[in-house]
Amino acid sequence: MKLSLQLKLGQQLTMTPQLQQAIRLLQLSTLDLQQEIHQVLESNPMLELIENADEEEDTSSNSSSDSEISTNENPPKDSADSQNSDIANGEDSNWQEEIPRDLAVDSNWDDIYPNSPAGNQNYDSEQFDFESRNSAEETLQDHLMWQLNLTPMSESDESIAMAIIDAIDANGMLTVDLESLHSGFDPEMEIEIDEIVAVLHRIQQFDPIGVAYRSLSECLLIQLNQMVHPERPKLIENAKLIIGDHIDLLGHRDYAQLMRKTKIKEAELGETIALIETLDPRPGSNIAPPSTTYIVPDVFVSKDIESGKWKVELNPETAPKIRINNGYASLVKRADTSDDNSYLRDNLQEARWFLKSLQSRNETLMRVATRIVEHQKGFLEYGEEAMKPLVLHDIAEAVSMHESTISRVTTQKYMHTPRGIFELKYFFSSHVSTKGGGECSSTAIRAIIKKLIAAENSRKPLSDSKITQLLEEKGINVARRTIAKYRESLSIPPSNERKRLVD
């Protein structure tokens, strides 16, 4: 093998730390960005938080740009020392007053320390909800254990009940079988399966009724057994018959087979199904509902009444306002190479990079959101059926950016419109050709399908083939399997499961 030297010329893209930081901030959501800003504020002493609007106005008037911060080589030492001494004296002067040893009986905290934070809080006011701020949410297990403590039981039955409650999920269903529960007890306790079944039946009478159920039919039957219908007792009997023996036919909405096997007429069957629909198949979910997730929009879209144009604005509350601390920045000495000066200079440079990355993120988000609004004016004016086809490549060409950048900007970013709050990716959709040679958005097709199914006859629901024909009459060429895919994405069941006896 012969060794040789070769000279090659090529180009290579290098990701600088500044570029990496800008890309990372660009793809962060609003909550992640707020957390990132707080972490940077804690780690970089050169950055500080603007707490009110007055400070922000002072910042904009005093400094035209953060890059023009004064970096004097040798700031006057006497002035700095005097400033520090004044600050120290000012801080100490606030605490020179001695705390009185004896206070009057009728005196209040506000009388002695009127400016203290504790004196400004009114815990008796209705606005201060102490319980909601400091109390934990009650779980289904807590709710059942509270009832168990009020129920007289023997020690062995109480142990069985606690084991059953621990095995109940958030919906109220028993997640293990009785044999597994029985094998988990100490053999010396001599617990039989019949004892576990008896305790299980007692827990099933706890609130909510039907908890600790092992199957859907058992859950509904427990609730029916607690029902009293003096005028129509036959109605409850029919419901028990359907749920106990023919719940599969009811799930598939095979009403013809159901009427043949139960000998129930159509009108009576409709009333029985209406009664069954009032039951709760997941009784435990109402005790501890899932926590609500709030979305903070990044962009506000509104229509100017005078000009009739749509206006796009960034949400000023999405991220805390920060700035460079001029006091610390003025301590940086240009010709000093000491460790302290190097630390301050490096943090100052990182602070400028971070602020520049934030500004770049806001500008990019604004440009992309503006182009989306310009393209989807029909949606803002008329709704989903007027949504136009849009892909990332269209916006990337309009703003002269790469598609990957547009993908980062539109991920986990939300737009507040008069029609609701939508993720920016919601406005992107593929297209389907029409008979006139035009294009129709898949989002618009989904809206049309949803509208057609909402207006259908519940006794004779529209099949996917029928929906295909109706769309062809509107000039939209869509295959039946595409209709089925769109229908499933909308969580709409097929026609046989949408059939009802009662409108």
Q: Quick one: average pLDDT of 468-476?
A: 89
- CA angle centred on 345, ends 341 and 349, rounded to 5°: 175
For residue range 248-288, list pLDDT tens digits in order: 988 888 888 999 999 999 889 989 998 999 999 999 988 87
Residue 85's CB: how many other CB atoms inside 10 A?
10
Domain boundary among 290, 308, 332: 290
Number of structural domains found in the chain: 3
DSSP, collapsed to helix, strand or coil, labels residue 36 as helix
Distance CA 438, CA 432 (A): 8
Residues 212 and 269 in one domain: yes
Q: Which residues pair with 415 in a beta bridge?
A: 299, 422
Residues 204 and 227 in one domain: yes
Regarding beta strands 299-303 and 414-417, do their DSSP bridges make them parallel or antiparallel, or are they unpaired? Answer: parallel
Please check whether residue 414 is in contact with residue 296, taking contact to mean a CB–CB distance below 8 angstroms.
yes
Residue ranges making up the domain that contains 382: 299-427
Residues 283 and 150 in one domain: yes
Domain boundary among 427, 457, 482: 427
For residue range 347-381, list pLDDT tens digits in order: 999 999 999 999 999 999 999 999 999 999 999 99
Residues 221 and 311 in one domain: no
pLDDT band at 43 (very low <50, low <70, confident <90, very high): very high
For residue range 304-344, list pLDDT tens digits in order: 888 889 999 999 888 788 999 998 888 888 778 888 888 99
Please check whether residue 432 is in contact with residue 477, taking contact to mean a CB–CB distance below 8 angstroms.
yes
DSSP, collapsed to helix, strand or coil, labels residue 431 as strand
User: Looking at per-residue confidence, does 279 or 121 come out higher?
Assistant: 279
Domain boundary among 364, 399, 427: 427
Residue 347 lies in a domain: yes
Of 450, 439, 449, the closest CA to residue 469 belongs to 449
Residue 20 lies in a domain: no
Residue 250 lies in a domain: yes
pLDDT value at residue 501: 65
Residue 11 lies in a domain: no
Q: Which two tokens stand for residue 472?
A: 């062809």
Asked if the model's pLDDT at residue 218 lies above 90, the reply is yes
For residue range 373-429, list pLDDT tens digits in order: 999 999 999 999 889 999 999 999 999 999 999 999 999 999 999 999 999 999 998
pLDDT value at residue 53: 54
Asked if the model's pLDDT at residue 503 lies above 70, the reply is no
Query: How does the average pLDDT of the chain come out, rounded?
Result: 81
pLDDT value at residue 219: 94
Residues 217 and 317 in one domain: no
pTM for the whole structure? 0.66
pLDDT value at residue 290: 66
Distance CA 261, CA 173 (A): 29
Residue 279 lies in a domain: yes
Residues 278 and 349 in one domain: no
Query: Three-state SS string across 383-411, please?
Result: CHHHCCCECHHHHHHHHCCCHHHHHHHHC
Residues 343 and 403 in one domain: yes
pLDDT value at residue 132: 46
Burial 378-396 (b: 16+ CB within 10 A, else e): ebbeeebbbbbbbebebbb
- Cα(first)–Cα(last) distance of the chain, in Å? 86
Residues 353 and 488 in one domain: no
DSSP, collapsed to helix, strand or coil, labels residue 440 as strand
For residue range 487-500, list pLDDT tens digits in order: 998 989 888 888 77
User: Looking at per-residue confidence, does 396 or 16 come out higher?
Assistant: 396
Residue 142 lies in a domain: yes
Residues 258 and 239 in one domain: yes
Residues 234 and 189 in one domain: yes
Q: Quick one: average pLDDT of 197-206?
A: 93
Say which CATH number the domain at 481 has: 1.10.10.60
pLDDT value at residue 103: 45
Residue 409 lies in a domain: yes
Residue type at position 352: R
Looking up tokens 């609007």 gives: 53
Residue 54 lies in a domain: no
For residue range 68-106, list pLDDT tens digits in order: 333 344 444 444 444 444 434 444 444 344 444 444 444
pLDDT value at residue 293: 74
Residues 236 and 250 in one domain: yes
Please check whether residue 394 is in contact with residue 435, taking contact to mean a CB–CB distance below 8 angstroms.
no
Q: Which of 200-214, 412-426, 433-447 has the lowest mean pLDDT?
A: 433-447
Distance CA 202, CA 223 (A): 14
